[in-house]
Structures are given as structure tokens and as C-alpha cells.
Amino acid sequence: MASLDRDRLTQLIDRERATYREQNPISAAAFEAAKGSLFGGVPMTWMVKWSGGFPLYLQGAHGNRITDVDGHTYVDFALGDTGAMAGHSPAATIAAVNQRISELGGITTMLPSEDAAWVGDELSRRFGLPLWSFSLTATDANRWALRLARLATGKSKVLAFSYCYHGSVDETVVVYGPDGVTQARPGNVGPATDPANTTRVAEFNDLASVERALAHGDVAVVITEPALTNIGIVLPEPGFLEGLRQLCTQHGALLLIDETHTFSAGPGGMTADLGLQPDIFVIGKSIAGGIPIGTYGITQAVADRINAHPDADLVDVGGVGGTLAGNAMSMSAARATLGEVLTDTAFKQMIALATRFTEGVQNVLDGFDVPWTISQLGARAEYRFARPAPRNGSESAEAGDDDLDEYMHLYTLNRGVLMTPFHNMALMCPATSEADVDLHTEVFTKAINELFG
Ligand SMILES: Cc1ncc(COP(=O)(O)O)c(C=O)c1O
């Protein structure tokens, strides 16, 4: 088995950092200039997550290509961490948005537009749940859904999995502590209350830990991705999701499936693929082609339980709404993106490309006997610095390696391939080609050869 030489890794990172700085003087200068007015030097603090000390500055993006202000064009496998799964500025989405906001007029009016019911019907067709409501982010859809779950069940707690991510949702920023106690995830910023007050925690792929948490009888809702995707990809083991559904029913907890990322599995996400039966379903990011959107779907049974509380303020300031949510622009974008871009045909092609990507990486790992693994989830694939693949969030967190992350990101970036800054995820969009995937395989081979060869 190949072993990692940390000294060599440090030297390679230094070399790649120098190359990055040399190749990107305009981005570097723009970042320095922005420090005067932007907190952290960026419009959103996560944007400093890119490796190399400063982010590339965007010039433009179309399909799966991004051009930066220094004039380099990249094959983009980050795709806005899923927000651009439909590709950058997809033509159908742009046309629909232009028609809505320019020809017809009306970006946000607090009035429903006819596109919304079309989108609701399409979401029902894909994911099965009959009733939908819209937000501008998946985070908000999750937040509102958790409130509704507490209202519907009369229970106070949420069950979340260790190292899950559902957006900046207070109840979910948790890890599994000694003896299964809920602990705040390291780095949790200014929590309103200790998450142990709001949340019970379990380990993914561990039904016994779920059962122990549910046995307290106070869990309103179990929130999970059907495969963890935010701590590398952790796939569900056979029987886990079915067991989770059964345990929820048995203990009177609702099941919330968040497919914001796992939508990559196919046109109906893992919910359609595996016949999952969530009570609440959340998705966001990609379904409007990059225009802000989020949505939750609920079953009729959950709607009935919510409606049994006429005092709950669902229509004003009760905590489940946003002024711009459901706006006409988002709805037109979602209709075009779901209707014309992220189609069944597009998914077939994207998934075949992700398979090619996965096989390419796997061959290299096998060839050099590198103790890493790559996991595929439909149109998405990600390698992790552990073999065998981690089984839950805590194991996957342990496999994290900031130095390896930086090396792989910079190595690929310096050679025209953009991976997502959050670990090593690659996502295919309708514009991705076999040649793009093969370029990644070629660059990945060189990176591994320099490190392990
Ligand atoms: C599974 C999941 N849910 C929700 C979110 C939050 O999405 P947003 O940042 O659009 O609010 C994310 C973001 O990465 C996510 O991965």
C-alpha cells in the first residue's frame, strides 16, 4: 500500500501555491482590494474556503466552464456546490427568467404566479409528496419544516445525524458525543442555545443509535439526507433507510428527507430511486438553475395535522415565511429548469459521466495502491482519504485531511479543473463532456504520481 510522505506533500503544496499566485495576479489584487469593505474580503465568508490563500474572481460562466478575471477558463466540477447542477446560465432558464422579469415584468410581488402550481405538480410527480411551499434557500425550507414538524407532533426535539449538514439550521449543527450525548459541532458560531436542548443525535448507518435516541419519546422529526454528502459521501447501507422509516413510524416521529444534494441520484432523487416514504421532503439550490429557491413538500397527513392548529400563524409573522419567497422570478426559473434542463435524459448522461469519472479515479487509486476511496451518487462522485469508505459522519470526519485537500484542489485548479472547495466533490451537469472527465483523470493521475509515485 502506498504511504504518504508528509515532507513531500508540504513541498508540493508550496510549489502549487506559488504557481497559483503567479498565475492569478488579478484575482489576488481584487481580493486584497476588497478587504477594505467586505468582511473577510469576500461577499460571503465561505468564499475564502478556496485553496491558495485567495479565491479566483469570476469573469463569466456558461455551461460547465468558468472564466476568471485573469483570463483562465476552467472545467467546472464544483458547479456552485450543486447550485449550478443545471450548468451555468442554462439557456431555457435564462429565457424564462427574461420573459418573466423583463417582458411580463414582476420579480417579486407577494402574488402567486401560474408557474408555481406547475412546479408543485412537477415536484409531486418526481418526489411523490402532494403539497409544496417555497423559500429562497434550502436552509429556510428546513428551518420552516422543523417548526411545522414540532407543531404537527407536539414534540420538541429534532434527531439529526453526526456531522450532517442541512444549511445553517441551529438544531442540526451537532456531533455524536461520548455515550451518544448531543454536542455542538466544533466551530459552531454563536448558538442561541446548547443544541443538546433541541436535538438528539445518532450515527448514520446505525439504527441502534437511532432507536436509543427515539426511545426518549420527545423527537418530533428525524432530519437526514438519504446519503450524507457534506462530510464526503457516506452511502446508506442496505436496510438502513427502510429501518429509519420504520423506527420513525414506531416512535411517532416524522421523517424529513433533505435531497438538496442527493438529487444528483436521478430526476426523482434517492426518494424515487429507493421508494423512500418521507413525511416531509426538502430540496433547493439546483432546481431553479441557480436562481435562489428552496422548497419543502408535505404529505396530506402532515398537512392535516398542521391544519388542526388554527391558532398557528402560518400567514404572517409565525416564523415560517419570507417576503421574497415564492417570487415570480424563482418560479419561472424552476419551471424552465425542471421542465427543460434537468430532465430524465440529462440525468442519464450526467450519471454515465460520473461513472466514467469514478472509474477513472478508481483505476488510478488501484494502480498506485493508494488507500483512498471514491463514492458515486448518481451524477456526483467524491474521493475520500480513507479505505474502506467511512460508514458514518464521525468516521468520515476523521478521514479529513486539510493538507491533502489543499494539494488536490490546487493541483487540479492550476491545470484547468475546478473541484468543489468543500472536500473533493465532482458534479456533472448537462454540459459536461467525456473529454472534460478525461481531463480530470489525466490531471488526477499526475497529482497522484507526484505524491505517491
Ligand atoms: C443537504 C443540504 N441541505 C440544505 C443545504 C442548505 O442549502 P442553502 O445553502 O441553499 O440554504 C445544503 C447546503 O449545502 C445541503 O447540502
Q: What is the pLDDT of residues 256-296, one digit of tens each?
A: 999 999 999 999 999 999 999 999 999 999 999 999 999 99
Taking the centre of ligand 1 as the mean of its atom positions, its distance from the CA of residue 261, in whole angstroms, is 7
Taking the centre of ligand 1 as the mean of its atom positions, its distance from the CA of residue 72, in whole angstroms, is 29
**Ligand 1 pocket mutation, candidates 81, 161, 260, criterion most atoms within 8 A of CB:** 260
Q: Whose CA is nearest to atom 4 of ligand 1?
A: 166
- 382 Cβ inside 6 Å of ligand 1: no
Answer yes or no: is pLDDT of 181 > 90: yes
User: Which atom of ligand 1 is nearest the CA belonging to 422?
Assistant: 14
- Measure the CA–CA gap between 6 and 12, rounded to whole angstroms: 10
- How far, in whole angstroms, is CA 444 from its chain's centroid? 23
Phi, psi of 433 (to 5 degrees): -120, 170
Residues 264, 85 contacting (CB under 8 angstroms): yes
Q: What pLDDT does residue 423 have?
A: 82
Taking the centre of ligand 1 as the mean of its atom positions, its distance from the CA of residue 138, in whole angstroms, is 5
- 380 Cβ inside 6 Å of ligand 1: no
Q: What pLDDT does residue 365 have?
A: 98
pLDDT tier for residue 422 given thresholds of 50, 70 and 90:
confident
Residues 219, 155 contacting (CB under 8 angstroms): yes
pLDDT tier for residue 337 given thresholds of 50, 70 and 90:
very high
- Measure the CA–CA gap between 125 and 268, rounded to whole angstroms: 8
Taking the centre of ligand 1 as the mean of its atom positions, its distance from the CA of residue 88, in whole angstroms, is 18
pLDDT tier for residue 73 given thresholds of 50, 70 and 90:
very high
Mean pLDDT of the chain: 97
Q: What pLDDT does residue 40 have?
A: 94
Q: What pLDDT does residue 359 have?
A: 98
Calculate helix-pair angle for 6-23, 434-452, nearest 10 degrees.
130
Answer yes or no: is pLDDT of 310 > 80: yes
Q: What percent of the chain has pLDDT over 70?
A: 100
Taking the centre of ligand 1 as the mean of its atom positions, its distance from the CA of residue 311, in whole angstroms, is 30
201 strand-pairing partners: 160
- Measure the CA–CA gap between 332 and 98, rounded to whole angstroms: 9
- Measure the CA–CA gap between 145 and 129, rounded to whole angstroms: 14
- 165 Cβ inside 6 Å of ligand 1: yes
- 172 Cβ inside 6 Å of ligand 1: no
Q: What percent of the chain has pLDDT over 90?
A: 98
- 166 Cβ inside 6 Å of ligand 1: yes
Over residues 155-176, mean pLDDT: 98
Residues 123, 100 contacting (CB under 8 angstroms): no
Query: How many angstroms separate the first and last alpha carbons of the chain?
Result: 12
- 155 Cβ inside 6 Å of ligand 1: no
Q: What pLDDT does residue 246 have?
A: 98
Taking the centre of ligand 1 as the mean of its atom positions, its distance from the CA of residue 19, in whole angstroms, is 33
Answer yes or no: is pLDDT of 22 > 90: yes
pTM above 0.95, yes or no: yes
Q: What angle do CA 26, 31, 35 make, to 5 degrees?
A: 145
Please provide the DSSP assignment of 313-372 as one string: -TTTTSSS--TTTT-HHHHHHHHHIIIIIS-HHHHHHHHHHHHHHHHHHHHHHHHHT-S-
φ/ψ region of 104 (left if φ > 0, alpha if ψ in -120 to 50, else beta) reads: alpha
List alpha helices for 238-298, DSSP H: 240-251, 269-274
Taking the centre of ligand 1 as the mean of its atom positions, its distance from the CA of residue 117, in whole angstroms, is 24
User: Which atom of ligand 1 is nearest the CA belonging to 230?
Assistant: 16
- 299 Cβ inside 6 Å of ligand 1: no
Over residues 410-415, mean pLDDT: 98
- Measure the CA–CA gap between 362 and 367, rounded to whole angstroms: 8
- Pairing between strand 182-184 and 417-418? unpaired
**Ligand 1 pocket mutation, candidates 144, 146, 165, 324, criterion most atoms within 8 A of CB:** 165
- Measure the CA–CA gap between 289 and 27, rounded to whole angstroms: 26
Query: For the segment 351-376, what is each residue's pLDDT rounded down to a tens digit?
Result: 999 999 999 999 999 999 999 999 99
Selection from 193, 186, 168 nearest residue 44 by Cα: 168
Taking the centre of ligand 1 as the mean of its atom positions, its distance from the CA of residue 226, in whole angstroms, is 14
Q: What pLDDT does residue 62 have?
A: 98
Contacts of 138 (CB under 8 A, 6+ apart): 166, 167, 258, 260, 282, 283, 284, 285, 294
Over residues 419-436, mean pLDDT: 94
Taking the centre of ligand 1 as the mean of its atom positions, its distance from the CA of residue 423, in whole angstroms, is 15
- 164 Cβ inside 6 Å of ligand 1: no
DSSP reduced 3-state for 163: coil
Q: What pLDDT does residue 412 have?
A: 98
Taking the centre of ligand 1 as the mean of its atom positions, its distance from the CA of residue 282, in whole angstroms, is 10
